[in-house]
């Protein structure tokens, strides 16, 4: 994993999009943080498989830290 601001923002955006628990949740607050720095995600971004390898690693670290599982799909069992 390496520092790339676009990868970091993209991973955080996708994580928040898939795992937020409503408008007042801690994870939902990521949208506000990304908006403050004027991050504009691709309108086509909807799945972790679309991320490059670095962004995927950042995304998976977020999932492990906040969700505690290895799944990238919030609806999987």
pTM (2 d.p.): 0.83
Which one-letter DSSP state was computed for residue 28? T
pLDDT of 20 > 60? The answer is yes
Which runs of consecutive H residues, i.e. helices, occur in 1-77? 5-19, 29-36, 53-66
Residue from 71, 14, 20 nearest 46 by CA: 14
Cα separation, 47 vs 29, in Å, equals 20
Q: pLDDT digits over 24-67, tens only?
A: 888 999 999 999 999 999 999 999 999 999 999 999 999 999 88
* pLDDT score of 17 more than 50: yes
How far is the C-alpha of 55 from the C-alpha of 14, rounded, in Å? 10
């Amino acid at each position: 994993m390496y520092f790339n601001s676009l990868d970091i923002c993209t991973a955080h955006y996708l994580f928040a999009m898939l795992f937020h628990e409503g408008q007042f949740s801690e994870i939902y607050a990521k949208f506000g943080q990304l908006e403050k720095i004027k991050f504009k995600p691709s309108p086509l971004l909807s799945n972790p498989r679309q991320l490059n390898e670095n962004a995927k690693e950042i995304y998976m670290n977020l999932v492990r830290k906040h969700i505690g599982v290895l799944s990238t799909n919030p609806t999987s069992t």
